[in-house]
Amino acid sequence: MEKKKTISVIVENHPGVLARIAGLFSSRNFNIESLAVGETEDPSTSRMTIVATGDELVLEQIIKQLNKLIDTLKVIDMSKEDYVERELALIKINIENKNLTDLMHIINIFKGKVLDTGSDSLIVEITGNDERINSFIHLTQTFGIKEMVRTGVVALTRSKKQKE
Amino acid sequence: MRGAKILLESLKKEGVDTIFGYPGGVLLPLFDEIYNEKQIKFFLVRHEQGAAHMADGYARSTGKVGVCLATSGPGATNLVTGIATAYMDSIPIVALTGQVATSHIGNDAFQEADITGITRPIVKHNYLVREAKEIPQIVKNAFYIASTGRPGPVLIDLPKNVLAGNIDEFIYPDSPDLRGYKPKYEPNKLQIKKAVELIEKAKKPVVYAGGGVIASSASEELVKFVEKIEAPVTTTLLGIGAVPYNHPLYLGMLGMHGTKYANYTIQDSDLIIAIGARFDDRVTGDVKTFAPHADIIHIDIDPTSISKIIKVDIPIVGDAKNVLKELLQEVKQIRHPEWIEKVMQWKKQYPLTFSCAKEGLKPQMIIEKISELAGEDAIIATEVGQNQMWTAQFYKFSKPRKFLSSGGLGTMGYGFPAAIGAQVANPDKLVIDIAGDGSIQMNIQELATAVKYNLPVKVAILNNGWLGMVRQWQELFFGKRYSHVDISGSVDFVKLAEAYGAKGFRVTKEDEVEKVLKEAFNIKKPVLIDFHICEEANVWPMVPAGGSLHKMLEGSELA
């Protein structure tokens, strides 16, 4: 059965590492839904947050293959952890001949921010998990989405809570 | 000190005594250093692909890391097939390539190719060196990566200005600097315990051993293990030599061209203990019908090999030798008289046999003859195709590291340069390439290398005038529509050998086989023997691609 998994990979911050990871997915025929890369608290490492899909064996294989790369320092299967994840999307929505009040209402519900307004469209920033962004897109589709960009999911495991 | 000199000094620190390679523009600073080099012997090849396979043959026959060198652009891309061959079979080689100066990288400069990009999916790791001072640490890392864990090829790309650049002092590091690479050699005790329980419970166990047993020098432990638990043992192509051919529990190779008794044993077993093998499609056939009643214990140093093709019951990550030692200590002696009797019955009932309806020498007989005359220390390389499968079936290997063959990638043209590399590493041993008339022509230019350095490699060409394995498939599965497989009359191999300054023989009659082989083995220079074999001899038995292991085809001539 197809499942979705969020995986964090801590890698050496070297040139070519992204190509190794991306190449692994294409050469092994793995499905990648999103990939977000950035520096970590330690500038010698980067963190890649990967959302991959596949059946159980494939997902297990993805984690093993990521671990096998020499430049990989750590692979964290987020689905086995308690974690928070966020994604940011910028969406340019058509407002020509549309009811702006309805749109603003939706934006407010989703705690979106309007970053830019033009005569025929505005740009909205939405953050949240994948599901939340998808439902915002779904609701605003009737206005007409002119352009959209998503960062891909980033995730961190939750801090340890004190014992009660 | 110049970057080029630092490179050579670093290689010497790693114990490198041999480089196979070819010069070129960006490598001029390096070849200028090699000109003075006394400790490392350099072998000039005739095509860079040959250099990569020679490094591979050197590595497979010794267990040491093989080294090859090529210039930027086409030199580097010519190594690619050899690197991929080593990758698929987990062979430790370090490939050094020249690169255009760092200031020119990305400009489509003359003889520029992004070789680290090109080889990324076929190396264990690769490096583009940016400054001369990085050379020692990168060389240290490269040899460590290539030779530890699951071995494999590592490429180091060396820009011209890096080789020509200067650093004040040469200091070679004591240890690799690889915080993300820690191969796991010691097995988990709990997994060993679970495995022992399963082994002691099994009624019909079989051991399936692969190249990992040879890589970890675990042959002795493997034999002790199968004797202690009284389990029949079969090997993959790359596992050949891990168990002596005449061991009573040995069933030969399994899979597509494996013995019937090995395949029947696998299919009927209730426990498979896989050691250093990876459930390749040529081994399993149809995965859904593979060993339907068996639990699987899988021992491998590479976690990605485990549960990649088939979900296993007990994974054990570790080095084959260490794991076998642990198992030997923990498992009690077991006997399975009924199971062994059943397996031995199959062994007696379905031996490998051969015949050929048409005229000509029987290739299997030639291989048996070579086997008989060459002695157990001879090193045998093969090309790919029928010659390879017949050798796997009929040659009697008693020791590991004596059989060199491209298993995973199936590289035609591998055997001859691999044999040359093995001869360099083993100057006193008899080294023979068992070839087909197709494969041998893929790297025949290396005859010049063998002659120049007086490397007395023997090549036995099983010449049937066909690209035989493809012809066999066309015969069986495409209604004998022999599309572009007829290569008869390509060349006069005897004259070709002579043209290169080697010795050539042609053998067409059965009674000449032994005489010519004996004579050839005594000649202290390269020899090509052109055996005219029965044209349509096939490799039997055979599991059609994707078929079930127990449904093996046999030739009508065997019926």
Q: What is the pLDDT of residues B83-127, one digit of tens each?
A: 999 999 999 999 999 999 999 999 999 999 999 999 999 999 999
**Angstrom distance (rounded) from CA A52 to CA A62:** 8
Q: What is the pLDDT along chain A (164 residues), one digit of tens a residue?
A: 899 999 999 999 998 999 999 999 999 999 999 999 999 999 999 999 999 999 999 999 999 999 999 999 999 999 899 999 999 999 999 999 888 999 999 999 999 999 999 999 999 999 999 899 999 999 999 999 999 999 999 999 999 877 65
Whether residue B88 lies in the annotated active site: no
User: Is pLDDT at B270 greater than 60 in this prediction?
Assistant: yes
Whether residue B469 lies in the annotated active site: yes
Whether residue B552 lies in the annotated active site: no
Cβ count within 10 A of residue B501: 13
Whether residue B160 lies in the annotated active site: yes
Mutation test of the interface with chain B: which of A10, A42, A62, A68, choosing the one with the most B Cβ atoms within 10 A? Answer: A68
CB B369, CB B514: distance < 8 Å = yes
Q: Pick the residue from chain A with its C-alpha nearest to B311.
A: A57
Task: Name the residue with tokens 């432990």.
Answer: B221
Nearest to A57 among B124, B128, B307 (CB): B307
User: Is pLDDT at B558 greater than 50 in this prediction?
Assistant: no
pLDDT of residue A99: 87
Enter the CATH code of domain A3-80. 3.30.70.260
Distances (CA, A) of A87 to A45, A133, A149, B287: 21, 8, 11, 40
Spell out the residues 6+ positions from residue B36 whose beta carbon is closer than 8 angstroms to its own: none
**Angstrom distance (rounded) from CA B554 to CA B538:** 10
Whether residue B110 lies in the annotated active site: yes
Within an 8 Å CB–CB cutoff, is residue A55 touching chain B?
A: no
Question: Does the A84-156 domain belong in CATH 3.40.50.720?
Answer: no
Cα three-residue angle B163-B165-B168, rounded to 5 degrees? 120
- Interchain contact, B303 vs A71, CB within 8 Å: no
Q: Which domains does chain B have, with CATH numbers?
A: 3-164 (3.40.50.970), 189-349 (3.40.50.1220), 363-544 (3.40.50.970)
Residues of chain B with C-beta less than 8 angstroms from the C-beta of A71: 180
Residues of chain A with C-beta less than 8 angstroms from the C-beta of B307: 57, 60-61
Interface of A with B in 97-156 (CB under 8 A): none
- Region(s) of chain A under CATH 3.30.70.260: 3-80
What pLDDT, in 10s, does the model give residues B453-477? Answer: 999 999 999 999 999 999 999 999 9
CB B501, CB B452: distance < 8 Å = no
Would you place residue B557 in the very low, low, confident or very high pLDDT band (cuts 50, 70, 90)?
very low
Residues of chain B with C-beta less than 8 angstroms from the C-beta of A57: 307-308, 311
Query: How many Cβ pairs within 8 Å bridge chains A and B?
Result: 41
Mutation test of the interface with chain A: which of B304, B311, B313, choosing the one with the most A Cβ atoms within 10 A? Answer: B304
ipTM (interface predicted TM):
0.92
Within an 8 Å CB–CB cutoff, is residue A45 touching chain B?
A: no
> How many angstroms separate the CA of residue A57 from the nearest CA in chain B?
7
> How many angstroms separate the CA of residue A6 from the nearest CA in chain B?
19
pLDDT of residue B421: 98
**Angstrom distance (rounded) from CA A102 to CA B430:** 86
- Interchain contact, B178 vs A70, CB within 8 Å: yes
- Interchain contact, B120 vs A23, CB within 8 Å: yes
Q: What is the mean pLDDT of residues B154-158?
A: 98
